[in-house]
Structure 1
Amino acid sequence: MAKSTLPCTLSPLLLTILITLLSFHVNGQVTNIPNVQTNPEVQDIGKSSIDQYNTREVPKNPAKNLPLTFKQVVEASVETVSGFKKYTLKINTAFQDGTAVSFDCVSALNPGEKTAALVSWGLKTI
């Protein structure tokens, strides 16, 4: 009986295909962003999110929604679906009196846009 060489031939091919597929970013997959403290794009999105909060939310109820000062994005992840990017950020901020606050938010960046839009947010005193 002759030995089949087919499994040995397919193994390297299947391995190559598998590695290729795994190397691509999966659409809709949430990916943690490394080194956010030194990533200018992530820091800009964080600063823009705080600016949008101050512009949109503070005037609605100035007694409750106090202005925030951007400090630094400390954690970030991104999910990409059809070019649309959803950033989930944890930002160190402070009230004007110096009280440290964690600002957790979701900001969305549409394809072709330069500025991410603040979608949702929450505050927590540190």
Structure 2
Amino acid sequence: MFDDIEQTATFIRDAIRDIPKQFDYNGKAQSKLDKERQDIMHYMEFCNLNASDGCKAYKDFQRVSKERRKHKNENELLAEINNIFIKLKPHINELDQAIGSLRKVKTNQNNRTYKCKVRNDLQDKFEGAGK
């Protein structure tokens, strides 16, 4: 079913850890950009701007608005799963332990050898057979 169970488990663990962080980061960035937009709007409102300064203010406002929209759109998507991952966050240590166990099992499987129980004459055939 899964090509690499360890990779899948690691992906799940990282999502549980990182999605709430990204959601918080986006919220803080959006708030900061809201304040920056307010600064630009007040600058345009209260200052007499020539054409060049007005154009620069408009471009700044546009750049900040686009950046804010990017964070807002991503959070709109993340909001659908963020609460689930917050509830799963206490299980990250368990996932870390499971991933460590998976790695150990994979190592053991790669280093697996067979020792003949009865047919000792076949033992030399197993040496290097699976490598």
* TM-score bin (small chain): under 0.3
Relative to its length, the structure with more helix (as a share) is 2
- Higher Cα Rg: structure 1 or 2? 2
Relative to its length, the structure with more strand (as a share) is 1
Q: Choose between structure 1 and 2 for higher RCO, CA contacts under 8 A separated by at least 6 residues.
A: 2
Calculate the TM-score normalised by the size of structure 1: 0.25
Calculate the TM-score normalised by the size of structure 2: 0.24
